[in-house]
A and B are shown apart, each in its own frame.
Chain A
Amino acid sequence: RKEVEQDPGPFNVPEGATVAFNCTYSNSASQSFFWYRQDCRKEPKLLMSVYSSGNEDGRFTAQLNRASQYISLLIRDSKLSDSATYLCVVRAAGGKSTFGDGTTLTVKP
Chain B
Amino acid sequence: DAGVIQSPRHEVTEMGQEVTLRCKPISGHDYLFWYRQTMMRGLELLIYFNNNVPIDDSGMPEDRFSAKMPNASFSTLKIQPSEPRDSAVYFCASSFGQMSIFGQGTRLTVV
Contact A49 B98 (CB under 8 A): yes
Q: Which residues of A contact B45 (CB under 8 A)?
A: 96-99
Interface residues of B, CB < 8 Å — how many?
A: 20
Least CB distance from A96 to B in Å reads 6
Which residue of B has the minimal Cβ distance to A87? B43
Among A59-109, those with CB < 8 Å from B are 87, 89, 91, 94-102
Point out the residue from B42, B50, B91, B101 that lies within 8 Å of A46, measured CB to CB: B101
Q: Which residues of B contact A45 (CB under 8 A)?
A: 102
Which residue of A has the minimal Cβ distance to B107? A41
Least CB distance from B34 to A in Å reads 12
Among A12-29, those with CB < 8 Å from B are none
Contact A91 B42 (CB under 8 A): no
Q: Is B80 an interface residue when CB atoms closer than 8 A count as contact?
A: no
Could you tell me the distance between the alpha carbons of A34 and B100 in the complex, rounded to whole angstroms? 10
Contact A97 B100 (CB under 8 A): yes
Q: Is A57 an interface residue when CB atoms closer than 8 A count as contact?
A: no
Chief secondary structure at chain B's binding surface: strand
Contact with A along B19-51 (1 / 0, CB 8 A): 000000000000101010000001101001010
Q: Which residues of B contact A91 (CB under 8 A)?
A: 98
Interface residues of A, CB < 8 Å — how many?
A: 20
Q: Is A32 an interface residue when CB atoms closer than 8 A count as contact?
A: yes
Contact with A along B81-96 (1 / 0, CB 8 A): 0000000000100010
Point out the residue from B33, B42, B56, B103 that lies within 8 Å of A102, measured CB to CB: B42
Contact A94 B55 (CB under 8 A): yes
Which residue of A has the minimal Cβ distance to B3? A43
Contact B31 A43 (CB under 8 A): no
Q: Which residues of B contact A49 (CB under 8 A)?
A: 98-99
Q: Is A1 an interface residue when CB atoms closer than 8 A count as contact?
A: no
Least CB distance from A29 to B in Å reads 15
Which residue of A has the minimal Cβ distance to B33? A97
B residues adjacent to A (C-beta < 8 A): 31, 33, 35, 42-43, 45, 48, 50, 55-56, 91, 95, 98-105
